[in-house]
Each structure stands twice: as structure tokens, then as C-alpha cells.
Amino acid sequence: MYKWILALIGLYLFRLPGFFIGLFIGHQFDKNRLNKIGDNIRQEFELNLLALASILIKSDGEISKQEIQYVRNYFISIYGQYKANILFKQFNSNINKKNISVKEVCNFFLKRTTYGTRLQLLHLLFNIAKADGSVSQAEVGKLLEFTRLLNISQIDFESIKAMFFKSSDSDYKILEIDKNCSNEDLKKAYRELAKKHHPDKVQNLGEEYTRAAKEKFSKIQAAYENIKKQRGI
């Protein structure tokens, strides 16, 4: 917007050379403005993620040091120690002392993120819950509440949950199929999940989120390979 305003002013004052000078200066203004807006949205994204993590950690009545450290390490890996500490201070001073509305926080993600991003957030929250060695039933209940408010399907919730709760049929749950399905249905289910959970879906969030998405994707691949091995295909 600014580039055209300054370009016209430049044209009026200095004719054609002024037009191009104004266009260049205006472009820099617009670029800086967009970067600032992008930074603000990213910061709001992270603060709301911290809010969900805080609600989850408190859900079973015990504040786990391992879970808190997992969150700290995660944000430090993205921003570095200095920027992460600023983010933590903002959260503690502006959000953590208030009564956090789960619905409002989930609405933020529902309105501003893709389904693939929300699936990755759910996987991250399961990782936080598992940081102390196990996911309590209270935490599972809270994660299920997040799932519903984030408009994530029950079958996708069960698929991600199965990545953290091993059982005789967890590989089938991860792939969202029945044990008695045909080999053709198995292959079809894997292709559909591979498309749904591909790391490229969260590439816009940055390297750390992409790396976490690759971890989730590898669990899907492992489940598929395990079933193929069991069936001899």
C-alpha cells in the first residue's frame, strides 16, 4: 500500500525518477510492516500453545517438572535461550495468572491454522504429557477435550493416541483400520495417512515443527511396516 502512495508523491515532486525512488522506499515500508504482522501472529500462536500446555500439565493435579522442562526445551530449540525466556515471561505475566479459557485458546487455532497443523499440535501435546514417562487418564481426558474443541476427528485422536499407548492392535489404530482389513485396504489407508500427516503440511511453522512432524510420520511408517511383516507382504 505505502509503495504506491510514496511512488505517486515522488512522481508529483520529482517526476519519473521520484516515482521509482518512492516505489522503492514504499516497498521497504510495506515489507517491514508485513514482517511485523507476521511476527505478532507467530508470537500469539506460541503464547496460545503455551496456554494449552499449561492447562494440560495442570490437568492431573500434579505439576510435573519433566513436562515443564520438555516445554522449555522445545521453545529454546526454536528460538534460542534469550527469545524463549522473553516468551515465557510474557506468558507468565499476561496469561498464566489469569483464568485461561480452553475454548478461546482452541478457537484461536481453529480459526488460524489448517487441520494438518492442529494434528501436529495434538501430537506435540501428547509428547508433553508423556515427558514424565506416562500419560495419565486425566491428561487423556484433557487431550480429548482439546480434540473436540479443535474439531479433530475421533479417529485421528485415537490414531495419535495409539502412538503413545502400545498394545497388540496399536499399529492398526495408528493406521485407522480394522485388524481384519484386506491388504489392499491396508495400502490405501497408509497412502491416505501419509498424505494427511506429511511433514510438508507444517513446513510454514518452521524447522522444529517440521522435525516433530517427521517423527510422527515415522511412527506411521513403522506401523505400516510392522503390519506388512506380520502378514508376510
- Domain range list for the chain: 167-233
Does 156 or 36 have the greater pLDDT score?
A: 156
* pLDDT tens per residue across span 186-224: 889 888 888 888 777 766 666 766 777 788 888 888 888
Burial class (CB in 10 A: 0-12, 13-18, 19+), 97: exposed
The single residue listed with the C-alpha cell 485421528 is: 156
Is residue 123 a contact partner of residue 216, using CB atoms and an 8 Å limit? yes
Does 133 or 100 have the greater pLDDT score?
A: 133
- What global pTM score does this model have? 0.73
**Helical H runs in 59-206?**
65-79, 81-94, 102-112, 115-130, 137-149, 154-162, 170-174, 183-196
* pLDDT tens per residue across span 86-130: 777 777 765 555 667 889 989 999 888 888 889 888 999 999 899
Q: Options 3.40.50.12160, 2.30.42.10, 1.10.287.110, 3.40.190.10; which CATH number does 167-233 get?
A: 1.10.287.110
CB atoms within 10 A of CB 149: 17
Is residue 49 a contact partner of residue 75, using CB atoms and an 8 Å limit? no
| Amino acid making up residue 30 | D
Measured distance CA(57)–CA(67) in Å, rounded: 7
